[in-house]
A and B are shown apart, each in its own frame.
Chain A
Amino acid sequence: DAGITQSPRHKVTETGTPVTLRCHQTENHRYMYWYRQDPGHGLRLIHYSYGVKDTDKGEVSDGYSVSRSKTEDFLLTLESATSSQTSVYFCAISAEENSYNEQFFGPGTRLTVL
């Protein structure tokens, strides 16, 4: 298994509170991604990173921000959580040398916003 962990694995929070999810990799891969998975919507890209301090928005970036100050860590922040952000969040990584762009997924974080 690719060395990718997510923390926390589960979190329950209240509307309006800030939340930060962490993705940590030990593979030194260049690309990192944050997705959310919801029933009926499949997997949707929130933000991705193509290097340290280099990030770009995905299709559902509103209400989320990211930071990548080190190769191994990619943080996803919900500045003020809303109930619509209740979801399962997956981090993925991909190596630049991998020409077919296989993405390796973390185990996911289940976030509930009350």
Chain B
Amino acid sequence: GEDVEQSLFLSVREGDSSVINCTYTDSSSTYLYWYKQEPGAGLQLLTYIFSNMDMKQDQRLTVLLNKKDKHLSLRIADTQTGDSAIYFCAVNAGNNRKLIWGLGTSLAVNP
């Protein structure tokens, strides 16, 4: 079946850039997402990219999509301690309004 994989942990220093990577198997996915989960809270959509784009930038966030390699990345510039959270990669699964989720990458930002 379809799968989404991402590394489980990332540790960076405050002020550095963070890059979180994700690979997926479903080549028919039209939307790809990054969600953020802060401790004790539900998930919130951080950003998304449509499959006909290869890059999307939103303030400190840059999403890169390589459709050929089925690789999605999220870059956070000037990472702050408030960015410490779990980041989930997700892709849509065809037309049935379901999403396929990665396991989440726990980002730790060290002062």
Within 8 A of B (CB), among A57-114: 58, 90, 92, 94, 100-108
Asked if residues B31 and A31 are in contact (CB atoms below 8 Å), the reply is no
Please give the number of chain B residues whose Cβ is less than 8 angstroms from any Cβ of chain A in the complex: 19
Which of B's residues lie within 8 Å of A, judged by CB?
A: 31, 33, 40-45, 48, 50, 88, 92, 97-99, 101-104
Which residues of B have CB within 8 Å of A50?
A: 97
A-B contacts at CB below 8 angstroms, number? 47
Given contact pairs A42-B88, A101-B92, A105-B42, a sample of 9 additional A-B residue pairs in the complex whose CB atoms are under 8 Å apart? A40-B103, A42-B104, A90-B43, A92-B43, A100-B50, A101-B31, A106-B42, A108-B40, A108-B42
Asked if residues B97 and A43 are in contact (CB atoms below 8 Å), the reply is no
Asked if residues A100 and B48 are in contact (CB atoms below 8 Å), the reply is yes
Please give the number of chain A residues whose Cβ is less than 8 angstroms from any Cβ of chain B in the complex: 23
